[in-house]
Structures are given as C-alpha cells and as structure tokens.
A and B are shown apart, each in its own frame.
Chain A
Amino acid sequence: MNLYHYAAPATFYHLAGRWIPWFAWGAALLAGIGLYISFFVAPTDFQQGEAYRIIFIHVPTAWMSMFIYLVMAFWCAIGLAFNTRLSFLMARALAPTGALFCFLALWTGALWGKPMWGAWWVWDARLTSQLILLFLYVGIMALWAAIDDPKRGDRAGALLILVGAVNVPIIYFSVTWWNTLHQGSSINLTKAPSMATIMLVGMLVMAVAAWLYTIAVAFVRVRGLILERERHTDWAQAALKEA
C-alpha cells in the first residue's frame, strides 16, 4: 500500500466521501447500544444510586477531548516536519469536535459533582487543567479564524497545538500528582479496572461510538477544507460540479 497515494488531497477527498456513511451509521448504532446498556442493562450503583449513570458519557467525552487533542498534535507535527498539505487540514477538521467533547466533559462533570460533592465546580487540578484544554481549543480556533493566509494560519495553529499538548499529560496524571476531589482513574493499563464489567462495557461502547462519530464529522469537514484549498485544480472543479 502506498501511503503517499492516500495522502494526496484528491484521492483522500473521494475515499473519505465513501467512508463517511459507514462511520456515521456505525456511530449511531453503537450509541444506541451504549445508551441501552447505560439505562437498561447496567444496575444501580450501591454507593451513588442512579447518578453514576453520568459516567457513560462523562468518561468517553473526557477521553475524546484529550485524545482528539493528541491526534491534532500528531498531525501538526507531521505537517510541520514533512510539509504535507492534508495534515494541517486534519487538525482543523478535528478541533471543533474536540472542543465540543471538552465542553461536554466539563458540563457532565459539573452535573455529577453537584449531587456527589455538593459543588458544581471546584478549582482542583483535574477540573482546572480540563478547563485549560477547553481554552486551548477555543484559542486555536480563534487563531485560525484571525489569520487570513491559510498556510500561515496552519503553521501558527500547529505551533500553539504542539505547545499546548503539554497540558494533556497534566490532565491525565493530575489525579495522581495532586490531591484532588476528582477520583482517580477507574481504568488504566497496569491494573484491572476497578468497576463492574457491564459498566466498563457500556463505557467502552460509548467511547467507540464517540470515535466513529468524530471520524465521520471530521471527514465531512476535511472534505470541505480540501475543496476550498484545491478549488483551482481540475479534479476539484469536476468534484464541485457533481457536489
């Protein structure tokens, strides 16, 4: 397989167009299964009652907000190193969805914190670093919007994304590095998950649904960006006539 072939905007434009329905329907199907597990399979928690069900969206959205940021940083590093056109567009296409998931993680966290901790918000390390992630997303999109020259915008945004990437491990390890009100992670790579299997399954199904959704919307967005940048080429002119 020749990766450079797929990295060509024209090839990727058509390929992404064919894949979008699969990712979108896969996301819808898994979200349906995930919601069913969240409300009709997973039992009541012995400590938190029904309030714990927020976990089924809180954890997947929080994971996504961090993971999308790392994927953006990866593409920006590739773009800066190899000057590949498509890489920066991938970062631009992912940012709004990352910001949405970041907001949802904070929102559902507040709605979970109120009944469990008695406070919507506390300035502890986990919550604060996650809020900084939201500001980074918004700042990056504002920076892109402020720079008219697309190539300069790509590079300026990439720099900010790469510098801001230091925040992601801070979020992830904040619960071990500092004393936080936020609980430690229930799942990590080194020990068995400290939660019931069905809860874990529900969370993972929702996380995969969120992934497929992210890919679907990012592909739609990146197709638009490709057309905009390549509109003077023959293939883009032809694609525009069909669109």
Chain B
Amino acid sequence: MVWQSGTAFWSMGGYGLYVWGSFGVTVLGVALEVWLLRRGQRSLINRLQRMQRWEAQ
C-alpha cells in the first residue's frame, strides 16, 4: 500500500474521522488502562506497606 501523500494518508479516502476515531480511541483506552493500573498498583503497595509497618508496632 503506497500513499500518494501525507494528506491522503490522514484523510483515508474520506473516511478519516471513522478510521482515526477507531484507532485513536483504542490507543487512548489502552494507554488509560496502563496508566490506571500503574497508579493503582503503586497505591496498593504503599497501602499494604503502611499496614505492615503499623501492624509491626
């Protein structure tokens, strides 16, 4: 598949909104899940470590 120009690539033969809307939201969704997961795991470990210290006292 050879695209004639950058514009042709982004316009996707007039279906740009639909194609990029699909791929864009998928990338966004995956990025959001990874971000939430990292944040959630960090706070979980912090919470468990706090409980560990507290229970050791």
Contact = CB atoms under 8 A, between A and B. Distances in A.
B13 A50 contact: yes
Q: Taking chain B's interface residues, is the majority helix, strand, or loop, or is none over half, making it mixed?
A: helix
Contacts, number: 88
Interface in A204-243: 213, 217, 220-221, 223-224, 227-228, 231, 237, 240-241, 243
Given A40-B1, A51-B18, A115-B18, A217 B29 contact: no
B34 to A, nearest CB: 7
A44 B19 CA distance: 13
Interface residues of A, number: 39
Contact of A112 (B1, B18, B51): B18
21 contacts: A35-B23, A39-B9, A41-B1, A42-B1, A44-B1, A49-B14, A49-B15, A50-B19, A54-B22, A61-B26, A100-B29, A108-B25, A111-B19, A114-B18, A213-B30, A217-B34, A217-B37, A220-B41, A240-B45, A240-B52, A243-B45
Q: Which 10 A-B pairs have the closest CB atoms?
A: A51-B15, A50-B13, A108-B22, A50-B12, A49-B13, A111-B18, A54-B22, A111-B22, A243-B45, A111-B21
Interface of A: 35, 39-44, 49-51, 53-54, 57-58, 61, 96-97, 100, 103-104, 107-108, 111-112, 114-115, 213, 217, 220-221, 223-224, 227-228, 231, 237, 240-241, 243
